[in-house]
Amino acid sequence: MSILKDTYGRHHSYLRISVTERCNLRCTYCMPAEGIQLSPKSHLMTADEIFKIAQAFVKQGVSKIRLTGGEPLVRKDIDAIITRLSSLPVTLSITTNAISTHRHIETFKKARIKQVNVSLDSLQTSRFTTLTRRNYLETVQNNINELITEGFEVKLNCVLIKGINDDEITSFIKLSKDKPLHIRFIEFMPFDGNKWNIDKMVSYKEIMNTVNTDFPKTDILRINDNPNDTAKNYQIKGYQGTFAVISSVTNPFCSTCNRIRLTANGKLKNCLFSSNETDLLTPLRQGDSILPYIEKAVVTKYKIRSGMESIEQFKDPDLHGKNRSMIAIGG
Ligand code: SAM
Ligand code: SF4
């Protein structure tokens, strides 16, 4: 039996690898204002260690790898990491804030990366700057357009926060009218230091209320979700692109979860919300097999959100506050 199958029969074929805890943005919902305690460089996986761990997962049945961070493209050896991983028989993809994608397009193409997920939470300059604490909106927009022109499938991730950017839902959807963009609204989730509370979150239901108000009902098409999809997918009739909602808080999709995460310092997280981590880097450096550690992490995975089954538990700061900040997990 595969060591990637958990006690609920879920096969973990999708590995997300964080390659750095650093970022060139400071998104308020991701990075605490005071920053985070960065791991010393010697505790971070080298390019070779990333490859070796990824290779072990692929031998066990992982078929999809996504690179994330922090901002993966701030890592100096990112092109070498991508190129090396592209030699594995996997679908490789990346999640980025798109500040510097223009410098890596050729590497993406050579690595046969087809899909690039880009984070963008506001289409307004001043608001983008407030949300990310940096002034890069124009660069990001230009780079998104370049990625589309170069033939990449671009998904835009937009975290909605009440009273901050929830009045932009319709503007985001309209971006998909003439462009093959896939807009994904993400419910704001709690992590250490991001001052989450349920009242700031814009729920799936609230998002769809706005859509139902702003578009004719007969134009809102519910389209197929892919297997293991975290998103509920929609399209406005006649639009080139699509939109979706990722409702991890109000409507978790744990029963079909196939994801497992590796942090930049080589710790395996069996769930985004898990505060338990399994160290793979130490045994790797000691020359031991990492397979028993992977197996242990997979079999101890909870059925739903690391044991936070109800929304009441999810609100408990003692539970989600023990987790890392998102920037150090890798979304
Ligand atoms: N820097 C890259 C980026 O921003 O796309 C990759 C890392 S980022 C941590 C990955 C994703 O996590 C982004 O789409 C971001 O919007 C999402 N994210 C971060 N904090 C979040 C939170 N509190 N709730 C929901 N999504 C969050
Ligand atoms: Fe950086 Fe991405 Fe986090 Fe924003 S969401 S601070 S871009 S890692």
What pLDDT, in 10s, does the model give residues 124-152?
999 999 999 999 999 999 999 999 999 99
Predicted confidence (pLDDT) per residue in 214-241, tens digit: 999 999 999 999 877 889 999 999 999 9
User: Which comes out higher in pLDDT, residue 14 or 272?
Assistant: 14
Terminus-to-terminus CA distance in the chain, angstroms? 29
Residue 6 covered by a domain: no
Among the bound ligands, name the one nearest to the CA of residue 324: 1
Q: How many angstroms does the Cα of residue 247 sit away from the middle of ligand 1? A: 14
Predicted confidence (pLDDT) at residue 330 exceeds the cutoff of 90: no
CA-nearest residue, atom 23 of ligand 1:
189
Ligand 2, atom nearest to 24 Cα: 1
Rounded Cα–Cα distance for residues 329 and 269 (Å): 8
Which stretches does DSSP call E strand in the chain? 14-18, 64-68, 91-96, 115-119, 153-160, 182-187, 220-222, 231-236, 242-246, 259-262, 267-269, 278-279
Tens digits of per-residue pLDDT, 187-223?
A: 999 887 788 888 999 999 999 999 999 999 999 999 9
Residue 23 alpha carbon, nearest atom of ligand 2:
1
Q: Tell me which residue has its CA closest to atom 4 in ligand 2.
A: 27
Is the pLDDT score of 265 beyond 80?
yes
Question: For the ranges 7-21, 155-169, 308-322, which has the lowest average pLDDT?
Answer: 308-322
Nearest protein CA to atom 8 of ligand 1, as residue = 331
Full domain range(s) for residue 185 = 14-328
Give rounded-to-5 percent helix, strand, coil for the chain.
35, 20, 45
Domain membership flag for residue 5: no
Cα separation, 143 vs 117, in Å, equals: 12
Residue with tokens 């490859």: 51
Q: In CATH, what number is assigned to the domain containing residue 71?
A: 3.20.20.70
Q: Which residues form ligand 2's pocket by a CB distance below 6 Å?
A: 23, 25-27, 30-31, 69-71, 97, 119, 327
Question: Is residue 4 in some structural domain?
Answer: no
234 CA to centre of ligand 2 in angstroms? 26
* Ligand 1 touching residue 30 (CB < 6 A): yes
Question: Domains in the chain: how many in total?
Answer: 1
Does residue 113 lie within any of the structural domains?
A: yes
Rounded Cα distance, 36 and 21, in Å: 9
Query: What is the enclosing helix (H) or strand (E) of 59?
Result: helix 47-60
Band (319; pLDDT cuts 50, 70, 90): low
- Domain-embedded: residue 9: no
Asked which of 90-99, 172-181, 308-317 is least confident by mean pLDDT, the reply is 308-317
**Is 329 a residue whose pLDDT tops 80?**
no
DSSP state of 226: P
Q: Listing from the earlier edge strand, what are the strands of the sheet with 115-119? A: 220-222, 231-236, 242-246, 182-187, 153-160, 115-119, 91-96, 64-68, 14-18, 259-262, 267-269, 278-279
Residue 7 forms part of a structural domain: no
**Top mutation candidate among 100, 133, 157 for ligand 1, by most atoms within 8 Å of CB:** 157
Q: Is residue 8 part of a domain?
A: no
Q: Is the CB of 186 under 6 A from ligand 1?
A: yes
